[in-house]
Amino acid sequence: MDRMTTPRSPHRPALRAAMISAPASGQGKTSVTAAIARSARRRGQRVRVFKTGPDFLDPMVLERASGRPVYQLDLFMAGREGCRALLAEAAAEAELILVEGVMGLFDGDPSSADLAREFGLPVLAVIDASAMAQTFAAVATGLQRFRGDVAVRGVVANRVAGPGHARLLAPGLPASLPLLAALPRSEALRLPERHLGLVQAMELPQLDAQLDAWADAWDAATQGAGWGGFDVDPAFGLAAAMPDAFEPLAGRRVAVASDACFSFIYPANLDCLRRLGAAVQLFSPLAGEPLPPCDALWLPGGYPELHAASLAANAAFFAALAAHLAAGKPLLAECGGMLALLQGLTDGQGRVHRMAGLMPGQGAMQPRLAALGLQAIAWPEGPLRGHSYHHSTLQTPLAAWSRATNPNQGATAEALYIHGSLRASYVHHYFPSNPEAVAAFLGGGPSP
């Protein structure tokens, strides 16, 4: 994750930034972050957006809003220096940096507040005001005063019923905590959701129009002032110097499935593979694209349960996976990618679909969340970090090579399965947490 950054020119506009957080999930952090980003971008500003904590779906929307890839800032997965390098890189090129928080401001360990404290990020609190009036100020000031090392500098009232409702919200707020916007409640502005969160951006043909509508609502609520972030010190921290060339995957071709079925891909993971020297080749099994000639393969997570019939009908894809493994080539399968390799998968309607049959076992979708949490897991090549979030269960006769631990002492402890040259787990691994281990496996090292 080490990067060299260019010093900010004294002739460039001042850097502005904000962490967009809230007292709880479901308050509207993503829509407000996207609205601010889109509004700033329409005014010609260079915007970079980050997402706190593990998430694939919100960043897809935020990428469309800002026009740039959205990276994770997570003190557990990326570490302090990894986060610092990403922020320093953004500070060197952007005029506005937005960081969408995760859950409530103080929830989790590490929390959004911990990240804000670490890098001096001022916080903009988004509060769903739909069921409150004067209590809005009490909640907002409580967030501001809860920790003295976190600067909550402004507040947004979301889902407001109208001008009369808005007038009830600001009294009681201190001068240090201005109400920057009161956004109206509008069902037309809500994005559709499914069992893992927002519907993927690639599946929403009207997303750009909706993002413009969000930006219009933001501009109207801020009365055309174009508010976008708080002034900050552009020195978020100096990134470490670029290390000596380390390209153990030079000359290796790594194929990555990438489409609506296999979509849970951190941009940092692709960056990591390329920095390791790999030639990354994206392909879409759903589109019927063949597995490209490759030395290693990554099947990321996504929604195989929604595309199980298409997968089952793609005999050529399953045959190519079988040939890949028969040749002893490395294959990393994560969560949904792992489910696609099983003998069968039962979808949410109880229909059983034949899968690739390359990993013994059956998967089944559940109506409720089956696992959630940050994960630290041991590979034969060394430890990696990542997270787990799924609604399916797995029955397999394979013994776990190792089991993950959760830094928050949560119950989720995912297994790592090793089956020939196949490496499979429910964990979504964050490759920059141990590039050497990833390179050792994808480079075709001996299996245990």
The CATH code of the domain that includes 296 is 3.40.50.880
295 and 331 part of one domain: yes
Residue that is last in its domain, among 231, 265, 284: 231
Residue 244 within a domain: no
- pLDDT digits over 396-442, tens only? 999 999 999 998 888 999 999 999 999 999 999 999 999 999 999 99
Contacts of 227 (CB under 8 A, 6+ apart): 36, 180, 181
The DSSP symbol for 90 reads H
CA–CA distances in Å: residue 173 to residues 43, 105, 142, 147, 150:
30, 19, 10, 17, 17
Query: What is the reported pLDDT for 14?
Result: 77
Residue that is last in its domain, among 231, 261, 293: 231
147 and 214 part of one domain: yes
Backbone angles phi, psi at 143, to 5 degrees: -60, -40
Give yes or no for residue 326 having a pLDDT over 70.
yes
- Of the candidates 118, 113, 110, the one whose C-alpha atom is nearest the C-alpha of residue 83 is 118
Q: Which residue matches tokens 């006769």? A: 397
290 and 227 part of one domain: no
CB 3 within 8 A of CB 91: no
Query: What is the reported pLDDT for 29?
Result: 93
Give yes or no for residue 2 having a pLDDT over 60.
no
257 and 206 part of one domain: no
Which run of H or of E encompasses 378? Answer: strand 371-379
Residue 10 within a domain: no
Number of domains comprising the chain: 2
- Of the candidates 356, 357, 332, 345, the one whose C-alpha atom is nearest the C-alpha of residue 393 is 345
Residue 240 within a domain: no
How many whole angstroms separate alpha carbon 262 and alpha carbon 256?
9
225 and 261 part of one domain: no
Residue that is last in its domain, among 231, 264, 281: 231
Residue 93 within a domain: yes
Mean pLDDT of the chain, nearest integer:
89
45 and 192 part of one domain: yes
Q: What is the mean pLDDT of residues 158-168?
A: 94
Give yes or no for residue 4 having a pLDDT over 80.
no
**Active site amino acids:** 335
Query: What is the reported pLDDT for 129?
Result: 95
Residue 4 within a domain: no
Q: Which residue matches tokens 């994808």? A: 442
Query: What is the reported pLDDT for 54?
Result: 87
Range of the domain at 192: 16-231
163 and 49 part of one domain: yes
Query: What is the reported pLDDT for 55?
Result: 83
Residue 197 within a domain: yes
pLDDT bin (cut points 50, 70, 90) of residue 131 is very high
37 and 183 part of one domain: yes
- pLDDT digits over 207-250, tens only? 888 899 989 999 999 876 667 778 887 565 555 555 566 899 99
Query: What is the reported pLDDT for 53?
Result: 87
190 and 273 part of one domain: no
Residue 22 within a domain: yes
How does strand 392-395 pair with strand 362-365?
antiparallel
260 and 354 part of one domain: yes
Taking the model in full, what pTM does it have? 0.90
Residue 239 within a domain: no
Query: What is the reported pLDDT for 243?
Result: 57
The DSSP symbol for 191 reads P
223 and 258 part of one domain: no
Q: Give the CATH number, domain containing residue 130.
A: 3.40.50.300
216 and 346 part of one domain: no
